[in-house]
Structure 1
Amino acid sequence: MPSSAPTHEDPRAILAAGKMGGRQILAVALCTILNALDGFDVLSISFASPGIAAEWGIGRGALGIVLSMELIGMAVGSVVLGNVADRIGRRKTILGALVVMGVGMFLATLSTDLTTLSIYRLFTGLGIGGMLAATNAVVAEFSNARLKSMSVAIMAAGYPVGAIVGGSIASALLASTGDWRSVFYFGIVASALMLPVVWFLLPESVGYLVQARPHGALEKINDTMRKLGHRTVPNLPPASADEPKTSVKQLFSGRLARITILLTLAYFAHIMTFYFILKWVPKIVVDMGYAPSAAGGVLVWANVGGLIGSVVLSLLSLRIPTRTLVLGSMVLSTVAVIIFGTGADGLTMLSLMSALAGFFTNAGVVGLYALIAHGFPSAVRAGGTGFVIGVGRGGAALGPVVAGFLFEAGLGLLGVAIAMGLGSLIGAICLLGLKQSDEAAL
């Protein structure tokens, strides 16, 4: 009597078509918390920098070197560890990234000069970049087809949450201790606490196990399927001849080449606009005559707007195609940044404009993460994510620098805002080159 289930049923298809159970939702929640930890770790050096400058007697130029080291580390970590996650697994990579982040934070507390601190922040950035590439893949592979874009957007919302909550904790620690090292102590504890949580609660993704086929793959897949509340499969699905092999070279082969190039260019251009807002808002507000504490409040509102933007995009993705949402967000990002560049009277209006710019710029970023998750198959999903984000981080480092040169050249706030806002528009034009088939969940 024939079995009611196909002999080679694909467990990935079961997850894609089924409802998301509690363990799948938990996996998304854990990755959201890990991304929040990333958000705090990225800004930890910013919170600590005034104390570092005062204790060591260094100027802004030298301090800027330390601030840039982490971005370089994140770029390298995204590319290298993203590819590693496709080879050894998402879970192992996340655990390794947590160790790197925790050790990097610990070493930062021991540094006594600019050179060693720069090296330690570069090292920490490797873990932060690898974490984002791996968690993006995990969320995509634990979600069903209907909620994939929403899940990735929710995960990305963890970043501004980490910046807001972590920033509040860091401010309280600095106020109570007066020691910049206390910021990194908190980061060490947070990273250490997440290690056992990930170890016990986050299984390896089924998508990775199917494509990598490690020893005992079928048993591991069925164990995970049972934990997730889905039926098991009798055999591994046959390997597809069209499935790309795990390597960076495959990202530039066939159809993937167009996807990789267009997504990388779009991310690079848009992230320049995004980091112009994040890095320059405090300085712009101070130059308008307001106190540094007030300028920090305006930046908080930019992050609040970013958080709301990511949540709104995640909800709209249930009814509107993701690419359409991202295109709209990027166009409106350009408009919002230009509006911010017109200036405003009073902190209330400045905060509102900053929140509006944060809303659309961050909505575009989280939407891009969803497109990346849809565009790359399991075999190269973490590597593809890492490459796009890693190379795109060049835009993160370049954006604030370009804006600085434009200000020094005598261009006013409006002129700089127009120039930097065009990054989002260029990103939108790049996305127009993607075909509808490129957005299909693979």
Structure 2
Amino acid sequence: MTLQTTTPLHLKRTIALCFLVALMEGLDLQASGIAAQGMAAAFNLDKVHMSWVFSAGIFGLLPGAFVGGWLADRIGRKRVLMASVALFGLFSLITALAWDFNSLLIARCLTGVGLGAALPNLIALTSEVAGPRLRGAAVSMMYCGVPLGAALAAVIGIADLAGGWQVVFYVGGVVPLLIVPLLGVYLSESLLFRSAKDSAPTGVVQGLFRDGAALPTALIWVSYFFTLMVVYILINWLPSLVVGQGFSGRQASWVMLALQVGAAVGTLFLGWVMDRLPAWALSALIYLGLLASLTALGLADHLQSMLLAGFVAGFFATGGQCVLYALAPHFYRPSIRATGVGSAVAIGRLGAMSGPLVAGKMLVLGTGTTGVMLASAPGIVLAAVAMFYLSVRRHGPAPD
């Protein structure tokens, strides 16, 4: 599909609707971190139990992302997106009504399935309606809804509304259910999907490793795994780590707000500079900035320095993640694009799931915040190398 087949109204409406879904996805992804102290007190959970609560939601993201992408290449991006939004909205509400540790784990896992299925469809719809020339900017505008939604969750934590830890899950459940009818009425199916569905190969998954796609697929998976590992350590554990450094729970919520504001700014800025910086400069900027900010988070001892470090960490961690999301669609034909993006997101979720578990174990061993942050360094280096190569390859011909 070219820009000539997409009207400006169609482009704006698709980005706006996908932005709304991304906003609610970001709120729910951050919700467990914001509600962690209240949940731990309500169910008498220690750090290891909370690690499982965090990882249960992330575990659901993995099959959700892969199956959601795979289904989207068969029955359509719009249908799968509507079903996934309804699913994560429903189980966010059930999270607020959980009665014990096991029901909490199940609710978070099934919420994650819905969240995981939504993201590859958001990326596929936005990238296909924008076309190759505007893909980076369009995906960035859509994806900035994720950190803004997480910032909204932080605001709810700061407000300390009556209703306790459940409030953020009520918001994360009701609003997505209200968005589903809007998607049904106003969201159009991808024209590229319509034109490609009849020619989709029988073995779609095998298409990820054919016709020169094998190496990009492997490198995309490496970048997603290690980048999302760091992002989800920050999303899930940063509030507790900040409290462990002597700050109050409300101050921790302010740090999370700074993290997500930085993420939104980084998403837009880094998406804008994708086509303006050399590949090596973009990779170095993102991952050196990430290493520096993680070190600062571990060493900060004043609220002002912690807020600045949180902002910079969000800028480079989530901004870099968005650059990866904008890169991935470039390497796959329309008939397997959602599957390719979904598989990459699923692999990234393995990193996201392992991150909070590793962080929890390290804290139990007494390594402290600095140890948790610095342990991420080797993975960041690997992700940087893979992203550098992908950025170079991006300047070849697109498969659209």
* Distance in 1 (alpha carbons) for counterparts of 2:340 and 2:281: 22
Change (3 A) 1:88 1:162: same
Quote how far apart the aligned CAs of 1:244 are. 5.2
Q: Secondary structure at the match of 2:376?
A: helix
2:3 corresponds to 1:29: no
The amino acid of 1:149's aligned partner reads G
Q: Among 189, 197, 215, which residue is 1:204 paired with?
A: 189
Greater displacement, 22-31 / 102-111: 102-111
* Matched residue, 2:207: 250
Q: Report matched runs for 1:166-245 at 5 Å.
A: 166-169=153-156, 172=159, 175-178=161-164, 180-213=165-198, 245=202
* Matched residue, 1:376: 332
* Matched residue, 1:155: 142
2:151 corresponds to 1:164: yes
The amino acid of 1:90's aligned partner reads R
2:266 corresponds to 1:281: no
Q: Is the 8 A contact 1:85 1:382 kept in 2?
A: yes
* Distance in 1 (alpha carbons) for counterparts of 2:66 and 2:284: 25
Change (3 A) 1:329 1:63: closer
* Distance in 1 (alpha carbons) for counterparts of 2:394 and 2:174: 44
Q: Secondary structure at the match of 2:127?
A: helix
Q: Report matched runs for 1:29-428 at 5 Å.
A: 29-169=16-156, 172=159, 175-178=161-164, 180-213=165-198, 245=202, 247-320=204-277, 325-341=282-298, 343-409=299-365, 411=367, 413-428=369-384
Greater displacement, 393-402 / 156-165: 393-402
* Distance in 2 (alpha carbons) for counterparts of 1:52 and 1:295: 16
Deviations 1:259-281 (A, max 9, x none): 11110011111222222333333
* Distance in 2 (alpha carbons) for counterparts of 1:171 and 1:296: 6
- Higher-Rg structure is 1
Q: Secondary structure at the match of 2:246?
A: coil
Deviations 1:380-422 (A, max 9, x none): 1111111111111111122233334445555465454333133
Q: Is the 8 A contact 1:74 1:130 kept in 2?
A: yes
* Distance in 2 (alpha carbons) for counterparts of 1:182 and 1:206: 39
Report the TM-score, using the length of structure 2 for normalisation: 0.90
Greater displacement, 429-438 / 256-265: 429-438
Quote how far apart the aligned CAs of 1:321 are. 6.0
Change (3 A) 1:171 1:193: farther
Change (3 A) 1:353 1:167: closer
Report the TM-score, using the length of structure 1 for normalisation: 0.82
The amino acid of 1:207's aligned partner reads L
Q: Is the 8 A contact 2:61 2:349 kept in 1?
A: yes
Q: Is the 8 A contact 1:323 1:371 kept in 2?
A: no
The amino acid of 2:99's aligned partner reads T
* Distance in 1 (alpha carbons) for counterparts of 2:155 and 2:308: 20
Q: Secondary structure at the match of 1:255?
A: coil
* Distance in 2 (alpha carbons) for counterparts of 1:287 and 1:51: 15
Change (3 A) 1:201 1:253: same
Change (3 A) 1:135 1:323: farther
Q: Structure 2: which 5+ residue stretches go unaligned?
A: none
Greater displacement, 54-63 / 250-259: 54-63
Q: Secondary structure at the match of 1:176?
A: coil
Change (3 A) 1:319 1:399: same
Change (3 A) 1:265 1:204: same
Change (3 A) 1:320 1:246: farther
The amino acid of 1:188's aligned partner reads G
* Distance in 1 (alpha carbons) for counterparts of 2:74 and 2:308: 45
Change (3 A) 1:107 1:277: closer
Q: Is the 8 A contact 2:270 2:319 kept in 1?
A: yes
Q: Is the 8 A contact 1:406 1:416 kept in 2?
A: yes
Q: Is the 8 A contact 1:326 1:367 kept in 2?
A: no
* Distance in 1 (alpha carbons) for counterparts of 2:92 and 2:29: 11
Change (3 A) 1:19 1:127: closer
Q: Structure 1: which 5+ residue stretches go unaligned?
A: 1-11, 214-238
Q: Is the 8 A contact 2:154 2:256 kept in 1?
A: no
Q: Is the 8 A contact 1:269 1:427 kept in 2?
A: yes
Change (3 A) 1:170 1:349: closer
Q: Is the 8 A contact 1:325 1:367 kept in 2?
A: no
* Matched residue, 1:5: none
The amino acid of 2:120's aligned partner reads A
Q: Secondary structure at the match of 1:401?
A: helix
Q: Is the 8 A contact 2:161 2:167 kept in 1?
A: no
* Distance in 2 (alpha carbons) for counterparts of 1:321 and 1:245: 38
